[in-house]
Amino acid sequence: MFRKILQIIGLTFIMCFNVRAQLVLQKTIAGGITPKSVVHNHNGLFFAQNMIYMHNITVYDENYELVKKINDRVNLQQYGYEGGSVKGGPVEVAFSHNGRYAWVSNYTMEGEGYTNPGCDNCSGTSFDKGFLYKINTTNFKIEQLVEVGSVPKFVACTPDNRYVLVSNWTSGDISIVDAETGDFVKSIYAGRHPRGIVVDPFSNFAYVTIMGSDKILKLNLHNWEKSWIEKVGKAPRHLCIDPDNKYLYCSINNLGKLVKIDLQTETIVASAYTGSAPRSMEITPDGNFLFVVNYHSNSVSKVATKTMKELTEVDTKVRPIGITLNWPKQEVWVACYSGYIQIFKDTSEQIIAPPKDVELLAALSQNSDQIMAMLPQTEPETDSKEPEKTIESSEPDVLVPEKTTETDPKVETKSIETEVLEDNYLPDVYIVVGSFSNTSNASRFKTKLINQGYEAVEMPSQKAGFTYTAIKVKSNPTGELTQIKNAVISSAWIYRP
């Protein structure tokens, strides 16, 4: 028995290593794209905005398949504006009404009447204005155009679906648009080069980074009053807010770090160094982790928000600049401006491969209390990175992509699960397709599977502290396992209580 205990401890060391934050490349999408950003509408679609010279948006589904290519050429007269046929240059997108509408900013317009375009090094209100496109994600039609400021960049929608906010880089203002009617509401001056925007969960305040400064604008969405969070670091770029509305996270492009801001005191309480020129970020639904792309380091980092420590950093293609999550599948989508979208699996958040030793499973089940007391407790690494050398950089928006159609092979998750479920929990045969440290993620994945026609359940594992999401097997376990691995997730395993 002691020998078996040692075997279990060894396997658990392997498991703990995998839990430490591994990002495994699953898929690379390439060919005729220059994605400035990629954003999930949380309803199965991913919009990639291909900048300037490509003049299109490519839309993908959860199987990484191209669903639609949307051309940015429009006839202004058809949308109530003077002029003829023009082209835009998609930059960013935000979704309203549960992903039904996509609001896309266009860097500059090309066509008759547009002779004075703004640029990254321009500042002022004398330049051509840009447009915000409202796209129906059901039929992918551009339903409406809204004229905004010069060189519109980031877009954010309020959670109550009342407003769409656009940061205009060159004109230095924020355009407010009615999300229901698409009408222009007002413009609010923010300062030189506003960029990232995030709205609190209650739609009370919007926060806007001002990249030509070291400040963040705090905008009251009820009376439009402005205040400032100052001295956050030079060139603040992107913002995330935690779901409890306690902390604001900001990437500081020129300093190579992220800062954590207490929203009650509006002061920095912690920071984390990642790669060089951290740009876009995403926060997990539970608020526990941040993922950030490092533009000059050609990498993506995962940071624990509680400790503000970088847990892992993995290489990407050249110039990663956009990022989004498909968290029910523990996926991180990275847009690389050099011509790729890369999808990584976070295997530390989804441990689903069981050990193959049946006797070992039995030993663990019978002696779990004594064995678990002997196992080491793992914590995130505590060594901080040294600060990167300060890099003075503007917001580059024109980059010639590599001419390649390379596609990386799919890599399956490789990890160890040393926990058996309660023997008396369920009487039938199940296929486990996910293991989550956060129960809300397990519940969300279960609901998604049910909507896809599967008989899905949650299976709490008290010993390991995870909640499993599983599909009930109706006939042939092996056959259904193969089908599910092809349709749902590449790594899955059969559980027989």
Count Cβ atoms below 10 Å from residue 315 Cβ, excluding itself. Answer: 14
Bin 453: left if φ > 0, else alpha if -120 < ψ < 50, else beta: left
Q: In what order do the strands lie in the sheet with 247-252?
A: 236-241, 247-252, 257-262, 267-273
| Under 8 Å between Cβ of 391 and 296 | yes
Which pLDDT score, from 0 to 100, does residue 351 have? 41
For the ranges 281-295, 379-393, 478-492, the lowest mean pLDDT is seen at 379-393
Q: How confident is the model at residue 334 (pLDDT cuts 50, 70, 90)?
A: very high
171: burial class by Cβ within 10 Å (0-12, 13-18, 19+)? buried
For the ranges 23-37, 67-81, 351-365, the lowest mean pLDDT is seen at 351-365
pTM of the model: 0.71
What pLDDT digit, counting tens, does each position of 161-186 carry? 999 999 999 999 999 999 999 999 99
Q: pLDDT at residue 435 above 90?
A: no
Q: How confident is the model at residue 228 (pLDDT cuts 50, 70, 90)?
A: very high
Q: pLDDT at residue 356 above 90?
A: no
- Determine the average pLDDT of the residues in 8-15: 39
Which amino acid is present at 434? Answer: G
Bin 233: left if φ > 0, else alpha if -120 < ψ < 50, else beta: left
Q: Which of these, 276, 268, 225, 228, lies nearest to 250 by C-alpha position?
A: 268
Q: Which strand (E) or helix (H) includes residue 3? A: helix 2-19
Query: What distance in Å separates the CA atoms of residue 458 and residue 422, rounded to the nearest whole number?
Result: 13
Say if strands 456-461 and 194-199 run parallel, antiparallel, or are unpaired: unpaired
Q: How confident is the model at residue 393 (pLDDT cuts 50, 70, 90)?
A: very low
What pLDDT digit, counting tens, does each position of 16-65 carry? 333 345 899 999 999 999 999 999 999 999 999 997 778 999 999 999 99
Query: What distance in Å separates the CA atoms of residue 59 and residue 36, rounded to the nearest whole number?
Result: 13
42: burial class by Cβ within 10 Å (0-12, 13-18, 19+)? middle
Which pLDDT score, from 0 to 100, does residue 4 have? 42
Which pLDDT score, from 0 to 100, does residue 469 have? 83
User: Which string of DSSP letters, residue by residue, matches 320-360?
Assistant: EEEEEEEGGGTEEEEEETTTEEEEEEETTS---PPPS-HHH
| Under 8 Å between Cβ of 333 and 59 | no
Q: How confident is the model at residue 392 (pLDDT cuts 50, 70, 90)?
A: very low
Q: Which domains does the chain carry?
A: 2-346 (2.130.10.10), 421-495 (3.30.70.1070)
| Under 8 Å between Cβ of 253 and 278 | yes
Query: What distance in Å separates the CA atoms of residue 103 and residue 136, rounded to the nearest whole number?
Result: 9
CA atoms in the 13 A half-sphere facing the CB of 131: 23
What pLDDT digit, counting tens, does each position of 402-433 carry? 333 333 333 333 332 333 333 333 446 777 87
Q: What is the DSSP letter of 77?
A: G
Q: Which residues contact 14 (CB under 8 A, 6 or more apart)?
A: 416
Which pLDDT score, from 0 to 100, does residue 16 have? 36
What pLDDT digit, counting tens, does each position of 102-153 carry? 999 999 999 989 999 999 889 999 999 999 999 999 999 999 999 999 999 9
**Residue predicted with more confidence, 81 or 434:** 81
User: Which string of DSSP letters, residue by residue, matches 162-188?
Assistant: SEEEEEETTTTEEEEEETTT--EEEEE
In percent, how much of the chain has pLDDT > 70? 73
Which pLDDT score, from 0 to 100, does residue 488 have? 62
In percent, how much of the chain has pLDDT > 90? 62
Which pLDDT score, from 0 to 100, does residue 495 have? 65
**Residue predicted with more confidence, 426 or 292:** 292
Q: Which token pair is 39? A: 């954003």
- Determine the average pLDDT of the residues in 232-251: 96
- Determine the average pLDDT of the residues in 434-463: 77
Query: What distance in Å separates the CA atoms of residue 152 and residue 171, rounded to the nearest whole number?
Result: 9
Q: How confident is the model at residue 443 (pLDDT cuts 50, 70, 90)?
A: confident
How far, in Å, are 102, 152, 173, 191 from residue 187 at the CA level?
A: 21, 12, 6, 12
